[in-house]
Amino acid sequence: MSFITAYCHLNQEYCAVNGGIISRRDKQAQDPWFKQIYKEQEFAYPKFHKMDTLAQAGFLGSELIKRAAPALLTDYNDDEVALIFANSASSADTDLRFIRSYEQNGSPSPSLFVYTLPNIVLGELAILNKWYGENMFAVLPKFVPDFFLNYTQILLSGGSKAALCGWLEILGDRIDAFLFLIEKEASHAMEFSRENLESLIATGPVTQ
């Protein structure tokens, strides 16, 4: 058995951790939405500003989960945290920007090109946390609980002891991110089951 020990919702309107909203988008704000959260939460990782939107969403979600579940940083060896992510649009948001760089802006941009793969966000999380564990990025038509259940089961029965999972869908104004941490051992935590995962996705956060 394994458990959902922390989770984070991030969409166009709000960002929530373990069901509680921690930030609401200020549509009047000058800063882009992800930067707004970054500032509010007082993160200090200048590389954030160079990341594409997919990596920024992954950064925010995983940092917030780390705050909610600090054991993630202390209880595991550097190769025991697996990263299992998926979405349906792949890296299309950045792909479109890269296409614009050579079709309209004069030359293909190398710093955009390196983000035109969906798994780059996993690399960013690995670099930031010095995680040398297993990585998996799948492109699925929609959020499929079974993919996460099956692949987590596979990796947790191998060498991994925890899995940071995420659905990271970013395309233009469409922002739909849901990150969750799965651990083998936990007390007072929700069992990692299809029902629980589906209900977390469906109900969203409790407004505070």
The span from the CA of 73 to the CA of 66, in Å, is 7
- Comparing CB distances to another protein, the nearer of 155 and 177 is 155
The span from the CA of 144 to the CA of 163, in Å, is 16
CA distances from 70 to 1, 31, 50, 75 (A): 21, 29, 26, 9
The span from the CA of 207 to the CA of 95, in Å, is 35
- As measured in angstroms, the least distance from the Cβ of 105 to another protein is 8
- As measured in angstroms, the least distance from the Cβ of 207 to another protein is 31
- Comparing CB distances to another protein, the nearer of 95 and 176 is 95
Pick the stretch among 20-28, 61-69, 117-125, 186-194 that binds another protein (CB under 8 A).
117-125
The span from the CA of 193 to the CA of 23, in Å, is 28
- As measured in angstroms, the least distance from the Cβ of 84 to another protein is 11
Which of the 8 DSSP states describes residue 127? Answer: H
- Comparing CB distances to another protein, the nearer of 8 and 120 is 120
- As measured in angstroms, the least distance from the Cβ of 21 to another protein is 26
CB atoms within 10 A of CB 133: 22
139 binds another protein, rule: CB under 8 A: yes
Counting runs of H as helices and runs of E as strands, what totals does the chain give? 8, 8
The span from the CA of 81 to the CA of 134, in Å, is 7
| Options 53, 129, 181, 183; binder of another protein; rule CB under 8 A | 129
Supply 15's token pair: 């960002």
Q: What binding mask, one character per residue, do residues 59-98 give for another protein by CB under 8 A, x or -?
A: -------------------xx---x----xxx-x--xx-x
Supply 27's token pair: 């549509």
User: Which residues here bind another protein, judged by CB under 8 A?
Assistant: 35, 46, 49-50, 78-79, 83, 88-90, 92, 95-96, 98-99, 102, 106-111, 113-120, 122-124, 126-127, 129-141, 144, 147, 150-151, 153-154, 157-159, 171
